[in-house]
Amino acid sequence: MPGRQDGPSKADWVAAGLSALAIGGIEAVKVERLAASLGVSKGPFYWRFRDRVELFEAIIDFWKRDFTTGLIEQARHLDDPRARLMALAELAIEPNAGSLDVAKTECALRAWAGQDPLPRAAVREVDELRLRHVTEELKLLGAPEPVAEQLSRGIYLALLGLYTVRQYTPELADDQSYRTAVTIAIDAAEKAYLPAAARNTHPTSDR
């Protein structure tokens, strides 16, 4: 007889749940459907989770870790903020994370957050974490905090827009345009640190 250590792991159920969420929204994340996709009955699900809500919490934790803190950690070894920000931008625009479509997963999670306070709190937490991290990197480049915050929001809103158009108007989903926007924001952060005289590259005439 199969034991509780047999069958899909907790990670398998989470991956199946995220795939279902990305394709069909939260209504597609049903135990029977996930079990069928994994080739098992419903029983093994309850070896790993108390109920569907615990699966939801695990899905959110996976998204927070693999789509945010994990990416930040991958870029942390680089020596300077510009390199870290550009590396992070490249990681963020990767189309897939394993078997998951990044844009579909992000958008599906945010659509779910529009209906349910559980993911809504997580989305707010992740947004704050991402923005704070980028802001701090821009401050290290010399931007005053208010400027760094504005540039950080610009970078982040451009990324969310890229995720959205990848689904609905893919002809607008230009990764190079996003890279250019990030580069412009980084340049602006560095320029904000310079004295006004150094920023002024145009000769002035005598009055």
Inter-residue contact 93 to 175 (CB < 8 Å)? yes
Domain count, the chain: 1
| pLDDT over 80 at 134, yes or no | yes
131 in Cβ contact with 155 (< 8 Å): no
Long-range CB contact pairs, 26-33, < 8 A, 24+: 26/108, 26/111, 26/112, 26/115, 26/116, 29/55, 29/56, 29/59, 31/55
Concatenate the DSSP letters of all residues of 15-66 into one string. Answer: HHHHHHHHHH-GGG--HHHHHHHHTS-STTHHHH-SSHHHHHHHHHHHHHII
At 195, the pLDDT band (50, 70, 90 cuts) reads low
pLDDT in tens, 85-126: 999 999 999 999 999 999 999 999 999 999 999 999 999 999
* Residue 97 counted as domain residue: yes
What is the pTM (predicted TM-score) of this model?
0.89
Tens digits of per-residue pLDDT, 24-61?
999 999 999 999 999 999 999 999 999 999 999 999 99
- Residue 192, pLDDT above cutoff 90: no
**164 lies in some domain:** yes
Structure tokens given for 114? 């529009």
How far apart CA 33 and CA 31 sit, in angstroms, is: 6
45 in a domain, yes or no? no
In a domain, 106, yes or no: yes
The domain of 128 spans 60-192
Residue 88 lies in a domain: yes
Residue 11 included in any domain: no
Does residue 117 lie in a domain region?
A: yes
What would the two tokens of residue 136 be?
């701090």
Domain assignment present for 200: no
As a whole number of angstroms, the distance between CA 46 and CA 48 comes to: 5
